[in-house]
Chain A
Amino acid sequence: MELIPMEYYLVVSSIMFFAGIYGFITRKNLIAVLISVELVLTSTDINFAVFNRFLFPGHLEGMFFTLFSIGISAAETAVAIAIIINIYRNIKNVEVRNLKKLKD
């Protein structure tokens, strides 16, 4: 593993992170926004794994944190999509700018 420095991984994950942020800010569709959030989350997961592997090789914390993070993001996705479907049912689209009211 010596052949790939740790910094490279980090640069990749930061690109992913900022791509996610860019998407979060600019996308109009709620699902697209959710996809962006997913990117952000995954990039942090990579960081955990990488730090664990390179800086604390004997430990397992980073790995487990990633594991739980994956679980949480799955749960979050489920709830968020349920909400989005509910919104769609109410206003017949899922555009961010149309969301002005929490309920009718």
Chain B
Amino acid sequence: MQDAILLKIVFYFLAAAIAVFSVMAVTTRRILRAATYLLFVLFATAGLYFFLNYSFLGAVQLMVYAGGVIILYVFSILLTSTDKESPSPLFSLRRWIAMIASIGGICLVAFLVLTNVWPEVHAPATDEVNMKLIGHTLMGTEKGQYLLPFELMSVLLLACMVGGILIARKRS
């Protein structure tokens, strides 16, 4: 029982972190802060994955996002050295419309989610996904196994790497 309460507290904490930091990430005027808030959101998301017992996913999320992507962001922000967005009217028409539409969207989706009758929600298995199973699934060629997308992924990453270098290289 105590565990349950603790878990609830953890979940609410994570949910609150995600909600608050994602809103802050898009409303702050300082770009470096936005990146930092994004980092927090991503951490919280990873936490959510751990919470769902997807430890591997959480680990990947932490490594790729927190370790790789955010570093990229920070460096690019520093490189482009525009720490601050240029001043613009804080409440322009577009901002208002976007805000209203977004809040409306959240309400709409929340309404949908909460009123929808879900088809036979199973009691989620609480067990951890076996690491060996993940490895086999990723490397297998059977039905429900993902060798081909995995290889495609690697090619894509390679292509992006080359592309990134090609685009960003200094031209004489």
Interface residues of A (CB under 8 A from B): 1-4, 6-12, 14-23, 25-29, 31-32, 34-36, 38-39, 42, 45-46, 49-50, 53-61, 63-64, 66-68, 70-79, 81-86, 88-89, 93-95
Contact = CB atoms under 8 A, between A and B. Distances in A.
B2 interface: no
Contacts of B99: 22
A38 B137 CA distance: 27
B76 A60 contact: no
A19 B23 contact: yes
Nearest to B84: A29
Q: Describe B's contact surface by its main secondary structure.
A: helix
Interface of B: 4, 7-8, 11, 15, 18-19, 22-23, 25-27, 31, 34-35, 38, 41-42, 45, 48-49, 52-54, 56-57, 60-61, 64-65, 68-69, 72-73, 76-77, 79-80, 82, 85-86, 88, 94-95, 98-99, 102-103, 105-106, 109-110, 113-114, 118-119, 121-126, 129, 133-134, 137-138, 144, 146, 149, 153, 156-157, 159-161, 163-168, 170
Contacts of B8: 3-4
A15 B19 contact: yes
Given A28-B85, A53-B54, A64-B146, A78 B64 contact: no
B54 A31 contact: no
A35 B4 contact: no
